[in-house]
Chain A
Amino acid sequence: MRLATALALCLPLSLSAGLATAQEADPHAGHAGHEAPAAPDPHAGHEGHVMPEPAPEAPPAAADSGPEHAADRVYGQAAMDAARETLFGEHGHARYSMLLLETAEYRPRPGGDGYGWEGQFWYGGDIDRLVLKSQGEGSFHGGLDQAEAQALYSRAIGPYFNLQAGVRQDFARGPDRTYAVVGVEGLAPYWFEVNAHAFVSDKGDVTARLEGSYDLRVTQRLILEPRAELNLAAQDVRELGVGSGLSSGEFGLRLRYAFRPEFAPYVGLLHEARFGRTADFARAAGAGAHDTRVVVGLRAWF
């Protein structure tokens, strides 16, 4: 305990000396509450018992005195302004981008093999981003069945969710509608990726789409991904074969192997379902209401 003894002997002296200096140097009497503390506890180890606890306070006025940028006085404002721009740019203001193909798949079937895709590209900073999305499907002999592209402005509105708004254009078989889009996407509790978007077409039709997916990590590289999409409509849209209410759904179960996180081939099952009046329309057109297929594809991003 030689150290403790030495401390007990020398600290009171240096404390009072230091405090005297401080008071001389400090023109702001706001901190006068500090008496020289009592001799420190020789059994040091209990902070707060020795020193008075300081209180949160605004800085003294002198802390804001003088030039805004100290180095300008030596190197000149012009040179420093340019360097400051770089400093700001390198610490939190970069832009990033990502091209993500969530599914790009081949759908073999006896009546004619098909294909499908869903993906997006984003560009921007932490808060504001431009998002381009596309999804669609078709068959190799019959061409595109349905396809759409969206251009959205995305803004982070919380730690996990983004608000999105923009336009959607359909292009494929049938009338090519244009829609206004608004929705949210993000990460829900329990690590569910969720999307909810509403669409208003140039004909005034209102529809909505809910999507959810989950990555069940079997091993570090083997991932089972259940994925669901539900489409809803506020009214019948007969030209598109859509009935009001819950109109259609898509349920996928894909098992992928991530050779790299950004390169993961998969196999899976895809079930497409039409419900209610939408199913009726489909049957009237000679198609089925339900369809299950094997899919083989690639999830990839850059």
Chain B
Amino acid sequence: MTHVHRRGLLRGFGALGGAAVLSGLLPGWAQSATPGLSTLPILSGEDIALRIGHAQMRVDGRDGHAVAINGTIPGPLLRLKEGQHVRIAVSNTLDEDTSLHWHGLLTPDVMDGVPGLSFPGIKPGETFVYDFPIRQAGTYWYHSHSGVQEMMGVYAPIVIDPAGADPVGYDREHVVVLSDFSRTHPHKLLTRLKQQPGYFNMQKQTFAGLLAGRDQALKERLAWGAMRMDPTDIADVTASAYTYLVNGHGPQDNWTALFQPGERVRLRFVNAAGMTFFNVRIPGLALSVVQADGQNVIPVEVDEFQIAPAETYDVIVTPTEDRAYTLVAESIDRSGMGMATLAPRPGMTAEVPPLRRRPLLTMKDMGMGGMAGMEHAGHDMPGGHSMAMRDPKNAPGVKMGPGVQMIAPMPQDRTGDPGVGLDGIGHRTLSYKALVALDPNPDSRPPSREVEIHLTGNMERFMWSFDGEIFGPNKKPIAFERNERVRVTLVNDSMMPHPIHLHGHFFEVVTGAVGRHPRKHTVVVQPGGKMSFDLTADAPGDWAFHCHMLLHMHAGMFAVVKVRPLDGEAA
């Protein structure tokens, strides 16, 4: 738990001294003790030049190899204006292909930046010019879609100011990019998980724990053992391999954001982590969520929220006291945390809360709904619905095979859940049901048909797929007619939450707030649960659709969404 040592380090070092050491590797906006975004150098305008190359990254005083945009991690903040046009020239100084994908931006299909799908990629030594109009406002980000470069540092935020007045009033803003950094190469992380899926989990249930009365009781352990399911399998890669970063700063680096008491401070959270969900809180401050995935929502006040890889949340905090606050980004399995400080002056620190005990998965996470116990497992329900853990009849569209460990027998709509481990935490948490779009949804047509897609996996083999079939030349694209209105239902047949990202579109998460459903580009399907989104397939072309836990994506949880007819073609 390195975080407990950081204060000592800072005393001997000084927060500003630390920032100076780091300044060579961090873009201006991400440097510590910053007064706010608006006064720092950022890239904007119609012509932007970016360069992707190797870099050494220093985190908590230790170096590691990384890949960076313009030499910094995170890369430069792009600050754009709704309605403008942008040309971004991206040069590749690596010895492998690269790319940049504008996550959440509505670009033409051939500017979306997925090599092999939307363009050929950028060869070593070459420069590719992305050229597209900015059709939206909000907080977004960009990252490489080539190999494992994103996990090695090729990610950065985008802030787009609205063409008109911003409905979110604020006096000061900070971008807070959360990420996970490992000194082990991402390919090695994936290899380890293929070799031994529980490799990084240092919080398994133990015999000592049983004797001490911790975790599950014996009867429950036996029941879970009979199913070969591990209730502690919450994060594939944990703090045993990762250091969690806030704006490129490790916990000991203590990134500091300045404020003046009484100000409304807008924090633009981006989760750029490769594999990590974070529980975010700032003890002592209420978080007023005003935007999700770049889309404004009716402000909703919480004390903590869970943010999945690739999601963004904008939050307003109003610190009134002249004191420091600790920003905590705890990993979902609570093996570690990213940390930063909000303070009126540089060099201040606040109390750091200890890591909380890791949660355990429940029967609900296995898709057994609200069932109280195991006694029903394996029995048939009235109406022919089987409660067996892996009954193909419960998912006729899934290709059964070694990669399908379970089929959720009774998946529930879990859009009202705050996320793994945040149930009954004792303070206010966020769920998708709490998000209500500020503006009416643009397309009020009811969906004309439903498409069901299962998120399938096998935790024992570290296999991940859609509908039991990994990506490949024979995987059929998910086809939509241009402008058709479709309901897509995602069923999670695994015990892990998956953040599913559709490129090129926003969709409305079906929460019940009809006409004001929250619009998102990335949506979490909770373990053993299901959720639906309504999509207007208005962007012709081929689009990536994948899990944004990048090792799941690289294991095969990737598909193509194709929208036809293209421009200039008859229907």
By a beta-carbon cutoff of 8 Å, the part of chain A in contact with chain B is 3, 7, 10-11, 14-15, 18-19, 22, 25-27, 31, 34, 37, 40-41, 44-47, 50-57, 59-60, 62-67, 69-71, 73-75, 79-80, 82-88, 90-94, 96, 98, 126-127, 156-160, 187, 189-191, 216-220, 261, 301
Contact B110 A126 (CB under 8 A): no
Contacts of B199 in A (CB 8 A): 261
Give the docked Cα–Cα distance between A40 and B570 (Å).
Answer: 35
Q: Is the interface of B mostly helix, strand, loop or mixed?
A: loop
- Give the 7 A-B residue pairs with the shortest CB-CB distance, closest first: A92-B556, A87-B116, A92-B470, A156-B402, A83-B116, A57-B449, A63-B479
Q: List 27 A-B contacts (CB under 8 A).
A: A7-B440, A7-B514, A11-B515, A15-B445, A22-B483, A25-B483, A27-B571, A44-B515, A45-B512, A47-B514, A54-B449, A59-B479, A62-B571, A63-B484, A65-B570, A66-B564, A71-B119, A71-B120, A74-B110, A82-B120, A84-B116, A84-B473, A85-B116, A92-B554, A159-B390, A217-B204, A219-B208
Contact A70 B461 (CB under 8 A): no
Interface status of B104 (Cβ within 8 A of chain A): no
Contact B228 A191 (CB under 8 A): yes
Interface status of B140 (Cβ within 8 A of chain A): no
By a beta-carbon cutoff of 8 Å, the part of chain B in contact with chain A is 97, 109-110, 114-121, 147, 190-191, 194-196, 199, 202-208, 222, 225-228, 298, 390, 401-405, 436, 440, 443-452, 458, 460-461, 463, 465, 470-473, 479-487, 510-516, 540-542, 546, 553-558, 562-566, 569-571
* Extra pairs beyond A3-B436, A34-B448, A261-B196 (4, CB < 8 Å): A44-B512, A65-B569, A70-B566, A91-B471
Contact B541 A71 (CB under 8 A): yes
Contact A91 B110 (CB under 8 A): no
Give the docked Cα–Cα distance between A55 and B450 (Å).
Answer: 5
Give the docked Cα–Cα distance between A104 and B440 (Å).
Answer: 67
CB distance from B284 to the nearest CB of A (A): 30
Give the docked Cα–Cα distance between A39 and B228 (Å).
Answer: 49
Give the docked Cα–Cα distance between A25 and B445 (Å).
Answer: 13
Give the docked Cα–Cα distance between A11 and B515 (Å).
Answer: 7
Give the docked Cα–Cα distance between A301 and B195 (Å).
Answer: 9
Give the docked Cα–Cα distance between A98 and B444 (Å).
Answer: 53
Contact B571 A218 (CB under 8 A): no
Contact A7 B196 (CB under 8 A): no
B510 interface neighbour in A47, A55, A65, A79, Cβ under 8 Å: A47
Q: Which of A47, A70, A158, A191 counts the most B-chain CB atoms under 10 A from its CB?
A: A70
Contact B402 A127 (CB under 8 A): yes
Q: Which of A14, A62, A216, A219 counts the most B-chain CB atoms under 10 A from its CB?
A: A62
Contacts of B448 in A (CB 8 A): 22, 26, 31, 34, 54, 57
CB distance from A162 to the nearest CB of B (A): 8
- Residue of B with least CB distance to A155: B402
Contact A63 B481 (CB under 8 A): yes
Contacts of A87 in B (CB 8 A): 114-117, 471
Q: Which of B444, B452, B486 counts the most A-chain CB atoms under 10 A from its CB?
A: B444
Give the docked Cα–Cα distance between A64 and B226 (Å).
Answer: 45
Also in contact, A189 and B465, with CB within 8 A (given A22-B445, A47-B510, A220-B204): no
Contacts of B463 in A (CB 8 A): 126
Also in contact, A92 and B465, with CB within 8 A (given A60-B484, A86-B97, A261-B196): yes
Give the docked Cα–Cα distance between A70 and B482 (Å).
Answer: 13
Contact B471 A88 (CB under 8 A): yes
CB distance from B492 to the nearest CB of A (A): 16
B207 interface neighbour in A41, A127, A218, Cβ under 8 Å: A218
Contacts of B470 in A (CB 8 A): 91-93, 126
Give the docked Cα–Cα distance between A41 and B512 (Å).
Answer: 10
Contacts of A51 in B (CB 8 A): 446-447, 514
B511 interface neighbour in A25, A47, A65, Cβ under 8 Å: A47
Give the docked Cα–Cα distance between A60 and B332 (Å).
Answer: 41
Also in contact, A66 and B515, with CB within 8 A (given A91-B470, A92-B470): no
Also in contact, A37 and B512, with CB within 8 A (given A71-B117, A159-B460, A261-B199): no
Contacts of B110 in A (CB 8 A): 70-71, 74-75
Contacts of B226 in A (CB 8 A): 189-190
Give the docked Cα–Cα distance between A128 and B338 (Å).
Answer: 40
Contacts of A67 in B (CB 8 A): 566
A80 interface neighbour in B116, B194, B569, Cβ under 8 Å: B116
Contacts of B511 in A (CB 8 A): 47
Contacts of B487 in A (CB 8 A): 54
Contacts of B202 in A (CB 8 A): 220
Contacts of B97 in A (CB 8 A): 83, 86
Give the docked Cα–Cα distance between A73 and B196 (Å).
Answer: 43
Also in contact, A26 and B484, with CB within 8 A (given A37-B446, A63-B564, A98-B195): yes
Contacts of B447 in A (CB 8 A): 51, 54
- Residue of A with least CB distance to B556: A92
Give the docked Cα–Cα distance between A56 and B532 (Å).
Answer: 13
Contact B514 A44 (CB under 8 A): yes
Give the docked Cα–Cα distance between A82 and B357 (Å).
Answer: 48
CB distance from B191 to the nearest CB of A (A): 5
CB distance from B218 to the nearest CB of A (A): 12
CB distance from A283 to the nearest CB of B (A): 40
Give the docked Cα–Cα distance between A31 and B191 (Å).
Answer: 47
Contacts of B203 in A (CB 8 A): 220
B109 interface neighbour in A64, A71, A88, A217, Cβ under 8 Å: A71
Give the docked Cα–Cα distance between A160 and B553 (Å).
Answer: 22
Contacts of A34 in B (CB 8 A): 446, 448
- Residue of A with least CB distance to B543: A70
- Residue of A with least CB distance to B517: A47
Give the docked Cα–Cα distance between A52 and B203 (Å).
Answer: 46
Contact B571 A88 (CB under 8 A): no
A18 interface neighbour in B402, B445, B510, Cβ under 8 Å: B445
Contact A79 B120 (CB under 8 A): yes
Give the docked Cα–Cα distance between A217 and B232 (Å).
Answer: 13
Contact B481 A62 (CB under 8 A): yes
- Residue of A with least CB distance to B510: A47
Contact A83 B115 (CB under 8 A): yes
CB distance from A207 to the nearest CB of B (A): 29
Contacts of B121 in A (CB 8 A): 83, 86
B119 interface neighbour in A41, A75, A88, Cβ under 8 Å: A75
Q: Which of B479, B510, B570 counts the most A-chain CB atoms under 10 A from its CB?
A: B479
Give the docked Cα–Cα distance between A79 and B569 (Å).
Answer: 23
B512 interface neighbour in A46, A70, A96, A216, Cβ under 8 Å: A46
Contacts of A31 in B (CB 8 A): 448-449
Give the docked Cα–Cα distance between A7 and B438 (Å).
Answer: 12
Give the docked Cα–Cα distance between A25 and B484 (Å).
Answer: 9
- Residue of B with least CB distance to A76: B120
Give the docked Cα–Cα distance between A59 and B202 (Å).
Answer: 46
Contacts of B541 in A (CB 8 A): 70-71
Contact A86 B116 (CB under 8 A): yes
Contact B194 A15 (CB under 8 A): no
CB distance from A42 to the nearest CB of B (A): 10
B444 interface neighbour in A14, A44, A46, A90, Cβ under 8 Å: A14
Contacts of B563 in A (CB 8 A): 63
